[in-house]
Amino acid sequence: MSTPATTTQAPLGSGFGATTTAQEALAGRDLTGRLALVTGGYSGLGRETTRVLAEAGATVIVPARTPEKAAVALEGLPRVEQDVLDLQDPASIDAFAARVLDSGRPLDTLITSAGIMAVPLSRDARGNESQLSTNHLGHFRLTTRLWPALRRAERARVISVSSRGHRIAAVDFEDPNFERREYDKWVAYGQSKSANALFAVALDARGQADGMRAFSVHPGTILTDLARHLSDDELRAMGALDDQGRPITGNLKTIEQGAATAIWCATSSDLDGRGGVYCEDVDIAAGVPPDSPSGDGVRPWAINPEAAERLWALSVDLEGVDLP
């Protein structure tokens, strides 16, 4: 692997911000002829991402574990192709990726939006903790399997949906699957979100020679189905609900605003020649110290190149796959 060009982890001054919508972040670009793939693309932020891409002319592949639910959610959207995918099942991932590759089309954009948050302890069939399995390992396997299609696009972009939840925990390389330490659903979530950011760092380093760039994004705080496992008390503690159980809209982004950073990372010419960075509020985020009291910015353990390489090696070991 050649030494990659680095992108400074600092805002560009994009002219956008926290209230920018996905449609505004697209800035009128015509995506006719492009092929995108959005995991989780039929629900919440993922559906808005799919809608904006498709209505701008892109063909969008949306895989789902529950095709019937996806069909209802995506009804009426143009140029959307549905398929079946279970991110905790290697055989399902491999079969889905094979169908995409068999079409012979270049894949211009891959947005890994599917995920789970703060769930009770469960494991996939191989023993991997479910949040690490769904949020990171499944997407790692999917990306490596889709690599030929990404290379074929020549200037593909991969957008790994992370979260400010990364500040909760770095990846524990000694016990990533909670086999020896006590399970904490928030620590597991934070670890998976740090993994999402590190994945973009390592993938970007590997993709540059083929013109492929990778980014991680924090969408913002949005009340979607992702929070279905949280109690009202937990949502109140997060500032998402008031004492009467009503959403506190002033503390939250809309779904249209939450999808904006991923759309910007996928389409903006401002990011040509850049990659491997964590983005939020429709700009590259600032790097902040580990003990920063701010909810904004990215902590060093989520963008550290050595940690990114260590995560890649761990993922290869756990998944048994690597780039061809």
Give the H/E segment covering residue 39: strand 35-39
Radius of gyration of the chain from Cα atoms?
A: 18
**Are the C-beta atoms of residues 82 and 96 closer than 8 Å to each other?**
no
> Which H, E and C letters describe 231-287, residue by residue?
CHHHHHHCCCECCCCCECHHHCCCHHHHCHHHHHHHHCHHHCCCCCEEEECCEECCE
3-state DSSP call for residue 109?
strand
Q: In what order do the strands lie in the sheet with 213-218?
A: 80-84, 59-64, 35-39, 109-112, 157-161, 213-218, 277-280, 283-284
Name the catalytic one among 42, 183, 189, 278: 189
Helices and strands, number each (H, E), in the chain: 12, 8
**183 classed as catalytic:** no
Alpha-helical regions (H) of 63-184: 67-74, 90-102, 130-132, 138-145, 147-153
Q: Can you tell me the distance from the alpha carbon of 270 to that of 291, in angstroms, rounded to the nearest whole number?
A: 30
Which residue, chain included where needed, has tokens 């529950």? 66
Cα 96 off chain centre by: 18
HSE (side-chain half, CA atoms, 13 Å) at 168: 18
**Are the C-beta atoms of residues 134 and 88 closer than 8 Å to each other?**
yes
In whole angstroms, how far apart are CA 45 and each of 50, 69, 215, 256?
Answer: 9, 16, 17, 8
Report the catalytic residues: 189
